Amino acid sequence: MTSVDPFGKTDQLDDAMLEALAVRFEARGKHPLFSKMLNEYLDAMNPASTATVLDMGGLAARAIARRPGFSGSITGVDLSPYLVASANRLAGEEGLAEHLHFQVGDVRRLAFADGTFDALVAHTLLSHVDDPLPVLKEAARLVQPGGMIGIFDGDYASLTFDQANPVTAKACDEALIAGVVTNPRIMRQMPRMLRAAGLDLAASFSYVLSEAGTASFWSSAIETYRKVIPKAGTMTEDEANAWAAALRGDSVAHVFFGSCNYYAYLARRP
């Protein structure tokens, strides 16, 4: 089945949608639990201060560049010229440009030589690519033997928002998941996939990002999803607006429930 997930087709979205996504990625990256999850696996990877690092698809690059004492070099690769320009601008504004450069590229086919990088990160990427195994094999090719790969993503099969009518809630969950991710079970498949890619599983971390009563993290996610789902076609604009309004109302009434599990894996190239 061809994927409808707009996050895997960012080279085809209009600038207004891409700006909404860029704003969302920044807000999400600043959320305390999201940055805790990122920093925990980066701490465990502990890239050497002089390491060369490849970030497939994004935001982790700036977090690595900000690590105390880091003087290495990071290359970020993303499918979208708009998101690459925005990431380079933010890196410049934060004084990180010396160590960090983003370029347009497709993680399914990258031109770097074997073993170019000491370490590699894929942060909320693999849930969005059509075929994750070749991307993992490409990651395994691009790090040096002994090099670490950090993989972080949502277990989006667990993404759920309650509504007054549980039948409606279940149908909306299913439409949401089908619209915003390509591989909702990828993080459950990861131990098997790492083996298939010839990588050793070194560590894993698990999290539940759950909010009850009032939505905070989830309120900005819902606002982004409201705009994204009609692009995917799994809800109409009216349906997506009604879904978001119901959840907003629940948050105001302090009866909101929203949750998703997240996982990080560290893998080593033998």
Ligand X SMILES: C[S@@+](CC[C@H](N)C(=O)[O-])C[C@H]1O[C@@H](n2cnc3c(N)ncnc32)[C@H](O)[C@@H]1O
Closer residue to ligand X in complex, CB, 8/150? 8
- Measuring CA to CA, which residue among 37, 39, 49 is closest to residue 74? 49
Distance set, CA 154 to CA 127, 195, 216, 230, 243 (Å): 8, 20, 18, 21, 21
> Interface with ligand X includes 225 (CB under 6 A)?
no
CB 167, min distance to ligand X, A: 29
Closer residue to ligand X in complex, CB, 155/250? 155
Please give the structure tokens belonging to residue 186.
């990828």
Calpha distance 44→244 (Å, rounded) = 37
The dihedral formed by the CA atoms of 48, 51, 57 and 59, expressed in degrees to the nearest 10? 50
> Interface with ligand X includes 123 (CB under 6 A)?
yes
Closer residue to ligand X in complex, CB, 28/248? 28
DSSP letter at 113 equals P
- Measuring CA to CA, which residue among 186, 223, 206 is closest to residue 36? 206
> Interface with ligand X includes 256 (CB under 6 A)?
no
CA diameter of the chain: 55
Q: Cα-flanking dihedrals φ and ψ of residue 101, to 5°?
A: -140, 130
124 phi-psi bin (left φ>0, alpha ψ -120 to 50, beta other) = left
Query: Where does this chain touch ligand X (CB under 6 A) — which range of 104-112, 170-178, 241-249, 257-265?
Result: 104-112
- Measuring CA to CA, which residue among 12, 232, 207 is closest to residue 224? 232
CB 255, min distance to ligand X, A: 29
> Interface with ligand X includes 57 (CB under 6 A)?
yes
Query: Where does this chain touch ligand X (CB under 6 A) — which range of 77-85, 111-119, 211-219, 232-240?
Result: 77-85
Query: Where does this chain touch ligand X (CB under 6 A) — which range of 54-62, 157-165, 200-208, 215-223?
Result: 54-62
Among 17, 23, 27, 29, binds ligand X (CB under 6 A): 29
> Interface with ligand X includes 132 (CB under 6 A)?
no
Among 6, 37, 72, 78, binds ligand X (CB under 6 A): 78
> Interface with ligand X includes 183 (CB under 6 A)?
no
Q: Cα-flanking dihedrals φ and ψ of residue 198, to 5°?
A: 80, 25
Among 6, 10, 149, 158, binds ligand X (CB under 6 A): 10
> Interface with ligand X includes 148 (CB under 6 A)?
no
6 contacts 224 by C-beta, under 8 angstroms: no
> Interface with ligand X includes 107 (CB under 6 A)?
yes
Q: How far apart are the first and last CA of the chain?
A: 34
Query: Where does this chain touch ligand X (CB under 6 A) — which range of 75-83, 222-230, 232-240, 245-253?
Result: 75-83
> Interface with ligand X includes 83 (CB under 6 A)?
yes
Among 36, 108, 170, 195, binds ligand X (CB under 6 A): 108
Among 59, 120, 235, 260, binds ligand X (CB under 6 A): 59
Calpha distance 218→157 (Å, rounded) = 16
Judged by the rule CB under 6 A, the positions of this chain that interact with ligand X are 7-8, 10, 25, 29, 57-59, 77-80, 83, 106-108, 123-125, 128-129
